[in-house]
Structure 1
Amino acid sequence: MTIRVVVADDQELVRSGFAMILDVQEDIEVVAEVGDGAAAVEAVERLSPDVALLDVRMPVLDGIEACRAISGRSACRTVMLTTFDSDEYVYEALHAGASGFLLKDVRRDDLVHAVRVVAAGDSLLAPSVARRLISEYTAATARPPALPESSAERLEVLTARERETLLHLGRGLSNAEIAAALVVSEHTVKSHVGNVLAKLGLRDRIQAVICAYETGLIAAGSAGPAAVSPSGE
């Protein structure tokens, strides 16, 4: 099955470079290259791709608003392209529906891997982006609204073991690592993860990380950097 991708970046060289890397893969087809967020939304609506790569900062419509529109209108998954030292919208973009974050200096193989991971329905954060998300945005006093129904009281719907699972998800552990920590099988962990996401109305493991911090299950800065397992395994 071919993964159809839209690449959106206002820098032509960056856009073309990413497109060239992806288009030579046997299982990936770049169906459109666009230079602004509005064009990205239009391309997604017209071409129904599987994944959209969106620069955070674009003219006409920025990447966050484009992500929000795409996530709200289609099944297309979005990966945000960000410059670690200057972009300050990671937290907001995750709320808008982003399934992954990559730095613009991402390695060729990592870019290809990210598209495949996100197309498969999993989530991905570059480790440095995850570190920024947790250390800064979850500790900020002025933040975007919390995820739907992710208040501390909402955790009462979870069993004790599901709360433990959420705690480990928030710390960035893979399913295998959670299984070792809880002394259960990976199959059981997958079941717990599914229950946590369903009960809290969370889309994926990235939102689970945010939820663990927003609800106070993990205090910001207490667990060190967390990176969401690319494969969710």
Structure 2
Amino acid sequence: MKIKIIIADDNSFIREGMKIILSTYHEFEVLETVNDGLEAVEYCKKHDVDIALLDIRMPNMNGVEATQIISEQTTTKPLILTTFDDDEYILDAIKNGAKGYLLKNNDPERIREAIKSVYNGNTVMQEVVLDKIKSNLTDQKNECKMDKSQFTEREMDIMTLIAKGYSNKEISKQLFISEGTIANYITTILGKTGLSHRTQIAIYYLTGKVN
């Protein structure tokens, strides 16, 4: 069964070019291309869409607003595909339910793999995007601003390292526990906070805000 995709971008050259590229892959079906976030929201409400590729800066409704509505009111998974001119929107997009954040200058294979990964339930963030999140959120101290009372000491250790950008493998080496155990802790943290992925944990740690 093919992954059903829509593309929302106010630049017709980009959206039609992306449609041509993605249509060359047998596992994708590009259902529609739209001009803005509002059109994307309306389409996702009326049709069975797996992935919505969303630009950030669009007329009528931007990608951040569209992400929130699509996440809350449909089963479609929003994936941001944009430029770094839009980096001030990164945090809002992630907090509003974006399942991925990629730059348009990626090669087609990278975008292809990201779409497949998001479709399979993963969250995709480029390292350069994660670095931008960290630099936007805090200074070098990575100061914790969240309420620590509901978390164990070990959970706090893991959240601190996530906020510093450590992978599960790096956390495993740092704390001398298995990656499986770390994954279990992360699942518990997500359950306590109502968050959906580790990038949101970092944001929560550094801002004290769940949404």
Answer yes or no: same fold by TM over 0.5.
yes
Structure 2 unaligned segments of length 5 or more: list them: none
Residue 66 of structure 1 corresponds to 66
Match in the other structure for 2:196: 203
Report SS of the residue matched to 1:6: strand
Shift of 1:87: 4.4
Gaps (5+ residues) in structure 1? 141-149, 217-233
- One-letter identity of the residue aligned with 1:99: K
Query: CA, structure 1 residues 86+211, in 2 after alignment: closer, same or farther (shift >3 Å)?
Result: closer
Map of 1:42 onto structure 2: 42
Letter of the 1:165 partner, please give it. Answer: I
Equivalent residue for 1:172, pick from 159, 165, 185: 165
Give yes or no for contact 1:99–1:124 (8 Å, CA) kept in 2. yes
3-state SS, counterpart of residue 4 of structure 1: strand
Please report how far the alpha carbon of residue 86 of structure 1 lies from its aligned counterpart in structure 2 after TM superposition.
4.8
Distance 1:165-1:87 versus aligned 2 partners, 3 A rule: closer
**What CA RMSD, in Å, does the superposition of the two structures yield over aligned residues?**
2.1
Q: Which has the higher contact order (CA 8 A, sep 6+)?
A: 1
- The aligned residue for residue 230 of structure 1 is none
Q: Give the aligned partner of residue 85 of structure 1.
A: 85
**Alignment partners' CA distance in 1, 2:161 and 2:87:** 27
Q: How does 1:130-209 map to 2 (within 5 A)?
A: 130-136=130-136, 138-139=137-138, 152-153=146-147, 155-209=148-202
Question: When the two structures are aligned, how many residues end up with a matched partner?
Answer: 205
| Separation of aligned partners in 1, 2:7 and 2:55 | 9
Identity %: 34
1:172-199 per-position Cα deviation (integer Å, ceiling 9, x unaligned): 3222222222222222111111011111
Q: Give the superposition deviation at 1:24.
A: 2.1
Tell me if structure 1 keeps the 8 A contact 2:57–2:86: no
Give me the TM-score of the superposition, normalised by structure 2.
0.88
How far the C-alpha of 1:135 sits from its partner, in A, is 0.9
TM-score, normalising length from structure 1? 0.80
Structure 1 residues 171 and 23, CA gap change in structure 2 (3 angstroms): farther
